[in-house]
Structure 1
Amino acid sequence: MRIAMVSEHASPLATIGGTDAGGQNVHVAALSRALAARGHEVVVYTRRQSPDQPERVRLAPGVTVVHVPAGPPVVLPKDDLLAWMPDFGRWLARHWRTAPPDVAHSHFWMSGLATLAAARDTGVAVAHTFHALGTVKRRHQGAADTSPRERVGAETLVARQADVVVATCADEVSELRRMRLSGHTVRVVPCGVDTDVFTPRGPRTDLGEGPVLLALGRAVPRKGVETTIRALRYVPDARLVVAGGAPGEPELDRLARVAGMYGVADRIRFLGQVSRHDVPALVRGADVLVSVPWYEPFGIVPLEAMACGVPVVASAVGGHLDTVVPGVTGLLVPPRAPEVLGRALRDLLASPALLTSYGTAAAERARAHYGWDRVASRTEAVYDEVLAARTGEAGMVAVRPGTGAA
């Protein structure tokens, strides 16, 4: 099968941890590799961000990244890219007229607009993954939401015009139904984790005397690290390591001030940005991974920690509701509730047997349900279903929330 992955701002070649580089980049790169390993030919289309970037780069056997000339060849915030999506779509259409893929899979709403525009001219079938929904972002961030005002309406358009929406968790299905999207056009396929890299076995970063809590992710307020810092008052013996973000970032400075305000600065260590290569060892060095964002479309970091055999305490939002099994692989707590989080962490750290049990179950769950080959197999089945429906060999059937990984 010839598969086109369209990811306008999130290049699979990007360094993870920057302002607009995170879970989507990891997802597109890993899914493309896994599909290629299953015998498919994958081309990833992403926007050219430098005049020095070659048009085509080989990412892995069977995977090529193509840099699309849409807008100026400079790094731009993703919220500024909407004006260039018509150019992106026209470029795709020109190339697909002579060499059409069997299916195009767009990632994020702006990629969806460009892909659907190209598909209208070429007849290519379109699967779409949002990775994040504007309605959710606006609900939680309010006036701080920097998304273009057209986002929510455009997402509704993309959801209705794509052949299928590939949601990453059951909570996203509920959000899509609030947008009055018919359930028959939605399939649930979770994000995955590299279970050969993220494993309980391997080197561990020495994070000092325990117990050690780890918060890992981009330095943005919605990730909820402030909640974890405030919770540290209720876990007097624990230390917190915060990884992610570059030195001098406003959010890190703000978090340092919060730590001082609550009298826990002496128990917090800010590591700054950590290379992707060093993440597994860093995670293994912690006793508990804490991930308590206000909202989370899926949440790859908790899944990576689970694969490393590290218990997770996460906010009960988004994909966490699917991946973390309370009382089995970790705990779920309400977002923005530092006292509740503190009690949960204190009780968990007080029981070494429980930490071990959760960690073992977490690793087993990650291997059983979230390996990239399994995710690629399920994604491939969605593509097959769309193509079969296009030729009249099969219809789409209703999806029920909760039909993601068990």
Structure 2
Amino acid sequence: MRIAMVSEHASPLAALGGPDAGGQNVYVARLTEELARRGHDVTVYTRRDSARLPDRVPLQGGGVVEHVSAGPAKPVPKDELLPYMPGFGTVLARAWERERPDVVHAHFWMSGMAAQIGAHEQGVPVVQTFHALGTVKRRHQGRRDTSPHDRVGIERQIGRSCARVLATCGDEVHELAEMGVPPGRVSVVPCGVDAERFHPGAHSAGVPERRERHRLLACGRLVPRKGYDKAIRALTRVPDTELLIAGGPEPGQLDADPEAARLRRLAERAGLGDRVRLLGAVDPDHMPGLMRGCDLVLCTPVYEPFGIVPLEAMACGVPVVATDVGGHRDTVADGHTGRRVPAGDPWAIAAAVRELLADEPLRRRMGAAGRERALARYTWQRVADGVEQVYQQVLTGHRVSEEVA
């Protein structure tokens, strides 16, 4: 099968941890590699954000990345990319006229816009994964939402006109239904985790020396919605425990990062300056060991479209305390692989953490259950199985509709 992935701002080649580099990048990279490993011809189209980038870059695990010239060849915040999507779509149309893909898989709403422009003339079916929805972002960020005004309307149109929406969790199906996208047009296939890299025996090279009896870890992009401030406040009620926060810019650049500065001020004011450590960007090779070296992983966002971090922790055999939002509702089995707590409530976080830290046998059982759950449901092989099925269903339906026409 010839598969075109469109991921306008989230390149599988990008370094993780920046403002616009996170779970979507991982999803596109790992899914591409797994599909390529199965013999599919996979090309990822992403926006050129540097004049020095080559036109084509083979991915180590299989597949190829093509850099599309659309807008200035420099980094542009994703919320400012909308004006360049028609041009992006025109480039795709020319490429697919020369070599038609069997199916297009668009990632994020602007990718969907470009993909539908590119696929229209050739009649290629488009599968859409939103990764995040504008309705959710607007609800939680209000006036701080920097998304283009037209985002929700465009997402609604894409959801109704694409061949299939591939959602990553059940919560997204309900959100799409509220937008007018019938659940019958939506398939659910979760994100995945590399269970061979994230495992209970992960080597602890590069892990900071422990200062307290217990260690908590929070990781991801260094942005306010991740709720690290709630984790810091929770720590005021959890004695003999330290909190590591991994993510954001390189360690030497943390002093210039506004969110890092805000979190450090909060920790100092709470008297936690010696128990909260911001690590900045962590070498991906060190992340499994960093997770394995902590007692609990905290996932505290106020909203989360899916959230890969809980899967990585579970694959490492570490219990998770996660907010009861988005994909966490599917991945974290409350009382079995960790605890889910109300979003925005640091005292609920603290209570769950104290409960688990006080019971080491319970943590071991939860860790083992998390590993078992990750292997049973969330490996990239399982994810690729589901995505392949969706592609085949779309292609079968597309051929039938062409024959009827």
User: 1:225 matched to which residue of 2?
Assistant: 228
Aligned AA for 2:63?
A: V
Equivalences for residues 165-314 of structure 1 within 5 A: 165-204=165-204, 205-208=207-210, 209-246=212-249, 247=254, 248-314=256-322
Shift in Å, 1:393? 8.4
Q: Structure 1, residues 295-351: CA drift from partner, whole Å, max 9, x if none?
A: 000000111011011100000000000000011100000011011111111111000
Contact 1:223 1:293 (8 Å CA) reproduced: yes
Shift in Å, 1:61? 5.2
Contact 1:16 1:275 (8 Å CA) reproduced: no
User: 2:70 matched to which residue of 1?
Assistant: 70
Q: Structure 1, residues 277-300: CA drift from partner, whole Å, max 9, x if none?
A: 221111111110001100000000
Contact 1:195 1:367 (8 Å CA) reproduced: yes
Equivalences for residues 7-406 of structure 1 within 5 A: 7-60=7-60, 62-204=62-204, 205-208=207-210, 209-246=212-249, 247=254, 248-392=256-400
Q: List, as ranges, runs of 4+ consecutive aligned residues in structure 1 with deviation greater than 3 Å.
A: none
Q: CA RMSD in A?
A: 1.2
The secondary structure found in structure 1 opposite 2:75 is: coil
Contact 1:40 1:62 (8 Å CA) reproduced: no
Aligned AA for 2:32?
A: S
Shift in Å, 1:137? 0.3
The secondary structure found in structure 1 opposite 2:173 is: helix
Which sits farther off after the overlay, 270-279 or 3-12?
270-279
- Structure 1 CA distance for aligned equivalents of residues 300 and 155 of structure 2: 26
The secondary structure found in structure 1 opposite 2:59 is: strand
Contact 1:210 1:287 (8 Å CA) reproduced: no
The normalised TM-score by structure 1 is: 0.95
Contact 2:202 2:316 (8 Å CA) reproduced: no
Shift in Å, 1:185? 1.0
- Structure 2 CA distance for aligned equivalents of residues 117 and 207 of structure 1: 52
Shift in Å, 1:264? 1.9
The secondary structure found in structure 2 opposite 1:227 is: helix
The runs of 5 or more residues in structure 1 that have no matched partner are: 395-406
Contact 1:7 1:44 (8 Å CA) reproduced: yes
Shift in Å, 1:206? 4.5
The share of aligned pairs that are identical, in percent, is 55
- Structure 2 CA distance for aligned equivalents of residues 340 and 99 of structure 1: 54
Aligned residues: 394
Aligned AA for 1:212?
A: R
Contact 2:198 2:315 (8 Å CA) reproduced: yes
Shift in Å, 1:361? 0.5
Shift in Å, 1:153? 0.7
- Structure 1 CA distance for aligned equivalents of residues 366 and 401 of structure 2: 45
Shift in Å, 1:245? 1.4
